[in-house]
Chain A
Amino acid sequence: MLARQNHSTPLQWLGRQLFNRDDASAFFDPLLARINPMWVQEYTPARVQRIIRDTSDTQTFVLKPARRWQGFAAGQHVNICVEIDGVRHHRTFSLSSSTTLWHDEGLVTLTIKRLPGGRVTNWLHDQLKSGAVVGLSEAFGDFLIPEPVRPILFIAGGSGITPILSQLKTMAVHGFRAPVTLLYFVRDHDHAIAGEHLQNLAALHDLLTVKIVASQGGSEPRYLTQSDLNEITDLGCRDIFLCGPQGLMALAGELLDAKGVSRDKIHSTYFSAPQTDLDSEDLGGKVRFARSNLDVDSTGDAPLLEIAEAAGLTPQHGCRMGICHQCSCRKTSGTVVNRLTGQASGPGEDTIQLCISIPQGPVSLDI
């Protein structure tokens, strides 16, 4: 997913002849990485310039990607790739900086919250030091500032603020000329990411209204309500951007529906928290075979190879007992449990053996 494919065809041909691989330049990566990790060709390297502490559990990582990185639009995400204890992990985060920072200084930022039990976020917080190099994918996602300029309502929860942060910063620099309101739900005010920065932006730009709501402050939890929406002037003609935990997104969806806001005005994006409980009881789940464009349901401890075959697919396999690796394939998302070790995989991209992997919840595969 981090690979780039922009080589000319004759060179690619020659590369394959000489080095048995599509990306001939990456043949030298093991040596280049030794000399200067920023020269690695297989993925785009990005050096950690600085790490800024935002809240007790959130840090902003300032990255300098190799110059060949192609840039991003505010609201987009990237995958980053880090090696933890010998294993490469990929995770998706939204960029939180303005696009100007990239254009002017060649820098981007990721604002990352520590997830309880999260392998990668905790490692990033505790182990990643400035000066280190991580892998970066090209930016993707269509959570983008509307064009032409229209009034906007942002509803964010927790770390869902990060893509919106990038959008607000970018809009401020470019002088966005329409009313913008942000409703930002946080546990308490100490957990507001970039709270001060947002208030400053609001003070500088009279078209921007920022309302930070602490959900856990009072005697009762305080969630998004109908009256929050009533306060928004001309809600009907605003584009609405939602980003946050699933509960908030669902609630916002219902309330907006009740208000008669049309669906195509609503843009949303979220990352669900990785599943941390490994209860082997709840095995099975929806399996998506992406390349064959097929979805099937599975229950119990059926391994993916059997699920795929039952669905009429014929994935490569050999021994069916975990020794030959003929059945290895890419899992693009979801968690699987290894039948031999009882271990659950991470939720991100991974290589798994179909014959001994059992889905735990929804899984999608590149076959």
Chain B
Amino acid sequence: MKQMTEAQLTELEQDLNAIRNDVLADLGERDARYIRRVVRLHRTLEVGGRVLMPFGFIPPVFVAATVALGLSKIIENMEIGHNVMHGQYDWMNDPSLHSQTYEWDTACSSDSWRRTHNYEHHTYTNIIGKDRDYGYAVLRLSDDEPWRPRHSLQFINYILLSTFFQWGVGLHELETERLHRREITLRSKLPFLKEFFRKGGRQAFKDYVFFPLLTFPVAPIVLAGNIGANLIRNLWSSTVIFCGHFTQDAETFTEEECWGDGKNESKGHWYLRQLSGSSNFTGGRWVHLLSGHLSFQMEHHVFPDLPAHRYPEISDRVREVCAKHGIHYNTGSFARQYGTVLKRIAAFSLPDRLRARLPALDVA
């Protein structure tokens, strides 16, 4: 991470706070109208997808219904659920869009997500050992973790993780790696497991039991369509999220850097870490909407509770602040960023010595 003096960090903090305050002062009608429109779009797609699905014996209808339902889940998870749970719309005082009560359409319960994502990941972004989102305790993505033989097959793990992403995220809080190391007991995780089975069961029930049974004669078609819709959502969200922190230039940190010598990390330092640890990708309006504006992951990480549709309009200012302070504004096309993610997964599946001999896999 870039070395900055306390005075420079304070200046960085002030520069970013200025952007934040401008947006906060301007929140209102426009933001409310935006999120309501997205919610309407979600409802329309979900209702449309569910209604069309039983007619899926006509192939084009099957494709349309599956895509509609998949898109509805993507929009609900990314642009509505994730952002609402960050408190981006709490100021609207609308209980259906409130961070503490919102429950989203995925296997991970909102409560678990608020603990593991909003708190752990956003507070300890990319600090190895503290941010369990870094590699999801499944993948080795940096030198900070020593190589083990099992890592050589991590590409398969990556594909499995992406395919079953909602279940991976749902089980994230189980902390299997710590269970494995016997740092915690399964017993202490029972309340969480109960919550997981309830929420996961609910999701499985609706997509794999209720709607197929409701449309009995065409149950297999509806079941297949629902599986397809979940798959589309899983692959897309996992890809977007991987592009947010595991690209070539996204940095990792040590606890020492932030809290060494018993010091408390300053807000300016926290901002610096958020900027250095995240990465954006470019794209059209729809790409941003479907990624929940996590295509502006850097903006999201410095301002997690500003309405996400504001990120594109403040991105130039954030980029200027980065330039001013000599911080790399990590962005590129979706294909480029994703390419570096795949390269990182591949590179760190190899022992360090072997990797060093393959310049094509140089990611550091």
Residues in A lying within 8 Å of B, measured CB to CB = 3, 16-18, 20-21, 26-31, 34, 42, 83, 85-90, 316, 318-319, 321-326, 328-329, 341, 349-351, 353
Contact = CB atoms under 8 A, between A and B. Distances in A.
Contact of A34 (B33, B40, B99, B103): B40
Interface residues of B, number: 44
Contacts of A322: 305
26 contacts: A16-B202, A20-B104, A27-B43, A29-B96, A30-B36, A30-B39, A42-B95, A42-B96, A86-B27, A86-B31, A86-B32, A86-B91, A90-B93, A318-B115, A318-B123, A322-B305, A323-B304, A324-B123, A324-B304, A325-B87, A325-B100, A325-B114, A326-B114, A326-B115, A326-B119, A341-B21
B105 A325 contact: no
Interface SS of chain B: helix
A83 B33 CA distance: 11
B40 A31 contact: yes
A345 to B, nearest CB: 10
A191 B334 CA distance: 66
B267 A321 contact: yes
A110 B31 CA distance: 30
Contacts of A329: 100
A17 B99 contact: no
A3 B44 CA distance: 24
B215 to A, nearest CB: 14
B247 to A, nearest CB: 23
Given A17-B202, A20-B103, A328 B43 contact: no
Given A85-B29, A318-B118, 9 more contacts: A3-B95, A21-B96, A30-B39, A31-B44, A86-B31, A87-B91, A319-B123, A325-B85, A341-B21
Contact of A323 (B27, B103, B122, B205): B122
Nearest to B105: A20
B92 A328 contact: no
A341 B90 CA distance: 15
B328 interface: no
A323 B28 contact: no
A325 B36 contact: no
A62 B119 CA distance: 47
Interface in B70-125: 85-87, 90-96, 98-100, 103-105, 114-115, 118-119, 122-123
Contact of B28 (A42, A86, A321): A86
A324 B122 contact: yes
Contacts of B202: 16-17, 20
Contacts of A350: 93
B326 to A, nearest CB: 25
B182 interface: no
B106 to A, nearest CB: 9
B24 interface: yes
Contact of B206 (A17, A349, A351): A17
B210 interface: yes
B47 interface: yes
Indicate the member of B85, B96, B98 with the most A CB atoms within 10 Å. Answer: B96
B33 A328 contact: no
Contacts of A351: 90-91, 93, 98, 100
Contacts of A326: 114-115, 118-119
Contacts of B105: 20
B251 to A, nearest CB: 20
B302 to A, nearest CB: 10
B30 interface: yes
A45 to B, nearest CB: 15
A328 B98 contact: yes
A100 B163 CA distance: 63
Contact of B305 (A3, A17, A18, A325): A325
B40 A325 contact: no
Contact of A89 (B27, B30, B93): B93
Contacts of A42: 95-96
B210 A21 contact: no
Interface in B1-48: 21, 24, 27-33, 36, 39-40, 43-44, 47
B275 to A, nearest CB: 15
B24 to A, nearest CB: 6
A353 to B, nearest CB: 8
B305 to A, nearest CB: 6
Contacts of A83: 32
Given A318-B119, A324-B119, A26 B96 contact: yes
Indicate the member of B24, B85, B93 with the most A CB atoms within 10 Å. Answer: B93
B123 A328 contact: no
A328 B99 contact: yes
Contacts of B119: 318-319, 324, 326
Contacts of B94: 88
A87 B205 contact: no
Contacts of B267: 321
A86 B118 contact: no
Given A323-B123, A323-B304, A328 B24 contact: no
A88 B118 contact: no
A86 B99 contact: no
Contact of A30 (B27, B29, B40): B40
A207 to B, nearest CB: 46
A325 B93 contact: no
B104 A87 contact: no
A213 to B, nearest CB: 40
Contacts of A30: 36, 39-40, 43
B328 to A, nearest CB: 23
Contacts of A353: 87, 90
Contacts of B103: 20-21
Contacts of A90: 93
A126 B49 CA distance: 43
Interface string B301-326: 00011000000000000000000000
Interface string B331-358: 0000000000000000000000000000
A86 B96 contact: no
A341 to B, nearest CB: 6
Contacts of B40: 30-31, 34
